[in-house]
A and B are shown apart, each in its own frame.
Chain A
Amino acid sequence: MHKLLTDNPGQKMLLLGNEAIARGAIEAGVAIGSTYPGTPSSEISLALFQMSHESDLYFEYSTNEKVALEVAAGAANSGVRTICMMKHVGLNVAADPLMTLAYVGVTAGLVIIVADDPFMFSSQNEQDDRFYGKISGLPILEPSSVEEAKEMVSYAFDLSEQLMEPVILRTTTRINHSTGIVELKEIPPRVTKGSFTKDPMRCVTVPAVSRGLHVKLLENIKKAEEIASTSELNFVEGQGPWGIVCNGVSYNYVKDAVQDLGIEDKAKILRIGFSHPMPADLIKQFIKGCEKILVVEEGEPYMEEMVKVFDQEEKLNVPIRGKGDDLFSRLYEFNPAQVRQNLATYFDVPYTPPAQTDLADVPEIPQRPPNLCAGCSHRATFYAIKQAAEGMDTVYPTDIGCYTLGFLPPMAMGDFLICMGSSVSSSCGFSQATDQKVISFIGDSTFFHSGITGLVNAVFNNHNFTLVILDNGTTAMTGHQPNPGVDADLFNMSGNGRVSIEALVKAIGVEHVSVIKPYKLKKSIATIKEALDYKGVSVVISQEMCTLFAKGHKMLKPRAFYVSDKCKNHRKCIGTFTCPAFSIQGDFPVIDADTCVGCAVCAQICPENAILPLKK
């Protein structure tokens, strides 16, 4: 049985934040879940996916976040408790349904989990999704710990049903990927079926209907604000003339700092866990009891600006600071020492930070950037394209997935990337505005997510570029999730449909479509050359199973290769292919037999044919 289905109230369990959220969903009686995977949210959906195989929970990997939210909107308007999760930029993709779903509302709880990523550990930006509360009008909840994250899921569902609208639960990476001890609660029975009651004056958003729905939304915001002002999620701790307003993980750093600085009798803390709408009455009361206030929040000055507004409304004129060159940054994540220092600075508390170790004499340590795996088919594809495009003035728009790593040397194949699907559509612009050869890359899952519409655009508007679809049979980067193109049997999803990328691309009207097996280097190069010569939109589908996935599913029978004594140390293998199975030992390249998966591409590159399979 999945550990998160353990029905033993009171038991304590060590859980990752994302596991705690998934357990929270189970304890809230969630019956339907949808997602598009994205770090740092991915383990929530992974746990729900696994649990759906052994319970009546329905869970699906949807094609993208917009689709996932619309799936959830339908389910939650049929009376079934539904959860929908994504990373912070995923909500941009789902913003369209979000904004109007806020008007329409739901008939059963709908909680949208959104995982922000301060410092961009694995993201293209660090946007602060709390502003989606303001722009949509929907409530935002923010936990400060793993334990609280679990409890907050149930709270969010109750709130959603009280207000009959979706609730956003916003985390940051340090909640998702922290681990803590949580106490299990009861698992209520799931209500897996409901029914949809026709209600066109609420559910069909023609202008005449929406004019009324916007009024309802504004009323709901007022109601939510009243709830926020008395919510247990917004609380004051301690007493004294100094005020600290904080949220999320910042609360932990503030708690530790207040103790470390010994200012427990001077500072009181207002922890905001229900952050949209901001609890006006509570905050106004708090300001009245303070001589000065520091707002501690990662990201944008979201709370700070509101606290200043409340101060102004009450004409209190209490000094309020937060972001600033001498205090907190809008960049990256915070850490305990930084919060301690800024509290000491702002409240003028004597504090000597611990001496930092002098590292001036430490030699430069070689960088260890992540790398495509040994035997990764993306590396083989990049290599083949590089050969096929030799001498061409190329532009390589790329996309989001493991293959983004192709931008690193020596491949250096990745010139432009802004968001999911941008490889295809930006290629239209590059090919129109330049005479350079545009070759773009997109993975199978990202193609389904948001590459298809760009390709339709390219055919319709008659653009000229080659799109390489890197089909490795899984959504690899986020932890090997399924997508519409995968072999469902490999994912314990027998009975699911399968969409053929090749048939889809042809149906769109792409006239030059070819399929390569990237481990067959010579043939691949020849096929790619033909695609590059084609004037118009050409598509190359590179098919090879993700090696990491194949290894995990015992689908590989690796036959390792070795560098024989025919090697003349050209180092073409290590210098141009950079497979991590290689290293230099005693000035010659060697292959680590445990790492090598036997793709044999290096053997096809070696000018001396010196790389040979190990005898069994």
Chain B
Amino acid sequence: MDTKRLIIVAVGGQGNLLASKVLGEAALLSDMPVKMSEIHGMAQRGGVVESAVVFGDAQSTIISDGEADVLVGFEPSETLRALNKCNADTVVITNTAPLPPFTVGLGIGVYPEMDELKALIKAKTGRFISFNGIELAKEAGNVMSLNIVLLGALIQTGILNLSAESVKKALETTTKKAFLDTNLKAFELGFQAAENA
């Protein structure tokens, strides 16, 4: 089957690994071959966490520069940093609520201007979907559901050939029961946000 390559970038603690796990479980439920790779040595120490998810028959579990079909960014400056993974056809989905690294507070770096950031990504990729995912996560009931908001948007694009039903079912088995309603709502809000984008 057609191979689809997805990169997810986030800041440690944003729930990136859970998001890729949900997608993996959804693929398993859908009999779709899936392989994933992640770097999470320092995930809980505020560094960047990157997951690669490869759907289809490819053997490789990592994605070379310029070869992602989709990039999902949980933090806008990290989405911009991951542009090297994209090409002119890549679909990019990003949360626009920034989480500046501590180096900015120290005056070592300058956080990019949001309008410029958006314009750059839009100009260099195939399709660009951006929205404030933090607000939607809060609306769903928990700021920690940002990861599921973005999954909703990702599934809406239809690129992965994964149905919303399979992802919702995977949410039931992989996320905590107490958060299921919040997560399902987060998924819907993200789905709608991508529809309206």
- Interface stretch of the complex, out of A69-77, A178-186, A276-284: A178-186
Interface 0/1 of A338-362, CB less than 8 Å to B: 1000000000000000111111011
Q: Is the CB of B60 within 8 A of A368?
A: no
Q: Is the CB of A354 within 8 A of B67?
A: yes
A566–B103 CA distance with the chains assembled, in angstroms: 25
Residue of B nearest to A340 (CB): B64
Chain A contacts for B80, CB-based, 8 A: 362, 365
A357–B66 CA distance with the chains assembled, in angstroms: 7
* Count of A-B residue pairs with CB < 8 Å: 167
B residues 23-47 near A (Cβ < 8 Å) are 24-25, 28, 33-42, 44-47
Chain B contacts for A359, CB-based, 8 A: 83-84, 124
Chain B contacts for A177, CB-based, 8 A: 37-40
Interface residue? A495 (CB, 8 A)? no
Interface 0/1 of A360-391, CB less than 8 Å to B: 01111111111111000000000000000000
A189–B83 CA distance with the chains assembled, in angstroms: 51
A179–B174 CA distance with the chains assembled, in angstroms: 15
Q: Is the CB of A365 within 8 A of B81?
A: yes
A146–B59 CA distance with the chains assembled, in angstroms: 11
Interface residue? B104 (CB, 8 A)? yes
Interface residue? A335 (CB, 8 A)? yes
Interface residue? B61 (CB, 8 A)? yes
Residue of A nearest to B76 (CB): A365
Q: Is the CB of A252 within 8 A of B24?
A: no
- Chain A: residues with Cβ within 8 Å of the partner, total of 57
From residue A373, how far is it (CB to closest CB) to chain B in Å? 7
Q: Is the CB of B46 within 8 A of A357?
A: no
Interface residue? B12 (CB, 8 A)? yes
Chain A contacts for B12, CB-based, 8 A: 370
Chain A contacts for B158, CB-based, 8 A: none
Q: Is the CB of A402 within 8 A of B45?
A: yes
Chain B contacts for A580, CB-based, 8 A: 46, 102
From residue B155, how far is it (CB to closest CB) to chain A in Å? 18
Given A354-B66, A368-B46, check contact A409 B106 (CB 8 Å). yes
Interface residue? B108 (CB, 8 A)? yes
Q: Is the CB of B84 within 8 A of A256?
A: no
Contact among A173, A180, A355, A370 with B46 in the assembled complex (CB-CB below 8 Å):
A370
Given A122-B41, A177-B40, A368-B11, check contact A252 B61 (CB 8 Å). yes
Q: Is the CB of B59 within 8 A of A368?
A: no
Q: Is the CB of B87 within 8 A of A354?
A: yes
Max chain A C-beta neighbours (<10 A), residue from B36, B45, B108:
B45
A361–B120 CA distance with the chains assembled, in angstroms: 8
Residue of B nearest to A362 (CB): B120
Residue of B nearest to A250 (CB): B60
Interface residue? A337 (CB, 8 A)? yes
Q: Is the CB of A179 within 8 A of B38?
A: yes
Interface residue? B134 (CB, 8 A)? no
Q: Is the CB of A368 within 8 A of B106?
A: no
From residue A298, how far is it (CB to closest CB) to chain B in Å? 12
Q: Is the CB of A366 within 8 A of B61?
A: no
Q: Is the CB of B59 within 8 A of A255?
A: yes
From residue A251, how far is it (CB to closest CB) to chain B in Å? 8
Interface residue? A613 (CB, 8 A)? no
Q: Is the CB of A357 within 8 A of B60?
A: no
Chain A contacts for B37, CB-based, 8 A: 174, 177-179
Q: Is the CB of B83 within 8 A of A121?
A: no
Q: Is the CB of B112 within 8 A of A365?
A: yes
Residue of B nearest to A147 (CB): B35
Interface residue? B48 (CB, 8 A)? yes
Q: Is the CB of A40 within 8 A of B41?
A: yes
Chain B contacts for A372, CB-based, 8 A: 45
Given A14-B25, A181-B33, check contact A335 B77 (CB 8 Å). no
From residue B125, how far is it (CB to closest CB) to chain A in Å? 8
Q: Is the CB of A371 within 8 A of B62?
A: no
Chain A contacts for B77, CB-based, 8 A: 365-366, 368
Given A40-B41, A355-B87, A548-B44, check contact A366 B100 (CB 8 Å). yes
Q: Is the CB of B45 within 8 A of A370?
A: yes
A580–B100 CA distance with the chains assembled, in angstroms: 10
Q: Is the CB of B102 within 8 A of A578?
A: yes
Q: Is the CB of A180 within 8 A of B62?
A: no
Chain A interface (Cβ < 8 Å from any Cβ of B): 12, 14, 39-40, 121-122, 145-146, 173-174, 177-181, 249, 251-253, 255-256, 335-338, 354-359, 361-373, 402, 405, 409-410, 548, 574-575, 578, 580, 582-584, 589
A-B contact pairs, 12 of them (CB 8 A): A14-B21, A146-B35, A174-B62, A337-B65, A363-B112, A369-B47, A373-B45, A410-B106, A578-B102, A578-B105, A578-B106, A582-B105
| 5 further interface pairs, Cβ-Cβ under 8 Å (given A371-B102, A405-B45, A580-B46) | A180-B34, A335-B62, A367-B108, A368-B48, A370-B47
Sort A-B residue pairs by CB-CB distance and give the 9 closest, nearest first.
A366-B109, A337-B64, A122-B41, A252-B59, A370-B47, A370-B45, A368-B101, A370-B42, A179-B36
